[in-house]
Structure 1
């Protein structure tokens, strides 16, 4: 399949780019939108800049969402918005796909404006339609829904490629910009809290040492994992000898709130704690 892809790329890349960036020709109407795989993501590796010359700069802020700073909650529907503008042009195109850094497509995209957006690439990409490339007052905005993936999917990014076209009938004078919106998984909602006996975490706030006590001594080893509120694993300690109270050094943590995941066998729970210097 990879070899076939290379053959297609070698023979039809130009045709694909012309389809994607056909918004620069007033007489070309492409209801299918941009062909998939043109977001400029690490997994896609292409944004069709070869058809337009130059390089595509990364520009912050072209993709936004209502995903909270604490991260996405698995199974929740969010609204993603793409916006681009140029004071001298009024034809625009885009393509966005939510992916991991390795190219895995995550979550479910859904069209909310069928006149201006369409899904392509096995519904893993969303792009403009032939009627969705016209700007208003030298700008264009597209919105769509995204359902967050299953728990444990981890951090991801919305990778997007944007076309700014002059509609002169050729690709000359057009520009491509890339933009990325990085989001994290809300680990506090992703981890199911099981009944791991009665657990106390103290002191609160913690300064040098964080203690965990159990109402009943765990039968299996206990693992403590500390995460940031964005779901980033900061440190992990495994306690092989079961005890009613265990302690973890947190002196090296910065001040703030953290999540403590406590695992023993197939059971796990999560607690919040505050670190104070």
Structure 2
């Protein structure tokens, strides 16, 4: 291999490594986006209405575990999507198929679903109000961000 070819190969490798990870998408999960949404998808905000079921309607019982289901409606047709769920108190465990827990938040582990499950354990007595922030992103699967959509929502428990 000539030295010119070696230099070219090294430069190409360095260029690939310099591209931010977000440029390759987040089909394997994204955290830190539960309140603000995922502006990297071109369809825009408020095209998807997030849903979070399984929360108690009359406030949480301390140290009780609740089975939550995450989903949404609206947005582009298809079967692919992602989400990011965060709570300021309590803890998540037992993520279902296509979900994972990263840094205390719950997110998708691949883009092959639009419904996910996870358990949430309420904090101990006297901990205060819990806020859940959720972003749900539905994608059309065309390999780019055009036509995708997302939405954000928040729930409070006393």
TM-score grouping bracket, smaller chain normalisation: 0.7 to 0.9
Higher mean alpha-carbon deviation, 53-62 vs 144-153, is at 53-62
Match of 2:64 in 1: 76
Alpha-carbon offset, residue 59 of structure 1: 6.5
**What stretches of structure 1 move > 6 A for 4+ residues in a row?**
none
1:109 aligns with 2:92: yes
Unmatched tracts of structure 2, length 5 or more? 1-17
TM-score relative to the length of structure 2 = 0.75
Query: 1:59 touches 1:179 (CA, 8 Å); kept in 2?
Result: no
Deviations 1:40-69 (A, max 9, x none): 2xxxxx3221x22464229666112142x2
For 1:61 and 1:126, locate their aligned partners in 2 and report how far apart those are by CA, in whole Å: 14
Match of 1:47 in 2: 37
Root mean square deviation, CA, Å: 2.5
Match of 1:129 in 2: 109
Q: Which has the higher contact order (CA 8 A, sep 6+)?
A: 2
Match of 2:14 in 1: none
Query: 1:118 touches 1:126 (CA, 8 Å); kept in 2?
Result: yes
Match of 1:176 in 2: 150
Query: What pairs up with 1:1-277 in 2 under 5 angstroms?
Result: 15-16=21-22, 18-20=24-26, 22=27, 30=28, 33-34=29-30, 36-40=31-35, 46-49=36-39, 51-53=40-42, 55-57=44-46, 62-67=51-56, 69-86=57-74, 88-99=77-88, 106-113=89-96, 115-121=97-103, 124-130=104-110, 133-135=111-113, 140-184=114-158
**SS at the partner of 2:21?**
helix
**SS at the partner of 1:143?**
strand
Tell me the number of residue pairs that the alignment of Structure 1 and Structure 2 aligns. Answer: 139
Query: 2:51 touches 2:71 (CA, 8 Å); kept in 1?
Result: yes
Deviations 1:116-173 (A, max 9, x none): 111112xx2011112xx324xxxx2211111101222211221111111011111111
**SS at the partner of 2:115?**
strand
Deviations 1:179-214 (A, max 9, x none): 222221xxxxxxxxxxxxxxxxxxxxxxxxxxxxxx
